[in-house]
């Protein structure tokens, strides 16, 4: 299986910055795509930032120019750098990794979620 461990959430004032990190572990052969999603209270889960194996980045319009997604291939980590945070960025953020295990099975793995709260 593939396990994900997230870190980096917290409380920050509007205009501040946070970095979320996610480390994938397990018998991973390769990773197809990684991403960060979020779910705000009363709203559906939405894609915040995605990164595929070819290096193509996909950012939600609401975070373009403020958030950056990056990965460390050797460490199987994906980070989300969040700048100029706004109260509307408040949500639980989830890491998602689609990875193939050494025995061939593909896994769509999700982290446990980390709370980001932006105060006005």
pLDDT computed for residue 62 by the predictor? 97
Instruction: Give the pLDDT of residue 42.
Output: 93
* Distance (Å, whole) CA 90 – CA 88: 5
Please list the pLDDT of the chain residue by residue as tens digits (120 residues): 899 999 999 999 999 999 999 999 999 999 999 999 999 999 999 999 999 988 899 999 999 999 999 999 889 999 999 999 999 999 999 999 999 998 889 999 999 999 999 999
The whole-number pLDDT of residue 54 equals: 87
Which of helix, strand or coil describes residue 61?
helix
Query: Do residues 29 and 18 touch, judged by C-beta distance below 8 A?
Result: no
């Amino acid at each position: 299986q593939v396990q994900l461990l997230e870190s980096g959430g917290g409380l920050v004032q509007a205009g501040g910055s946070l970095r979320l990190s996610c480390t994938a572990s397990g018998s991973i052969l390769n990773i197809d795509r990684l991403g960060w999603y979020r779910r705000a209270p009363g709203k559906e889960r939405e894609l915040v930032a995605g990164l595929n194996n070819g290096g193509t980045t996909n950012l939600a319009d609401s975070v373009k120019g403020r958030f950056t997604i990056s990965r460390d291939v050797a460490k199987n980590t994906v980070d989300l750098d969040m700048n100029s945070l706004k109260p509307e960025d408040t949500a639980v953020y989830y890491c998602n990794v689609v990875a193939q295990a050494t025995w061939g099975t593909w896994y769509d793995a999700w982290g446990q979620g980390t709370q980001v709260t932006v105060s006005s």
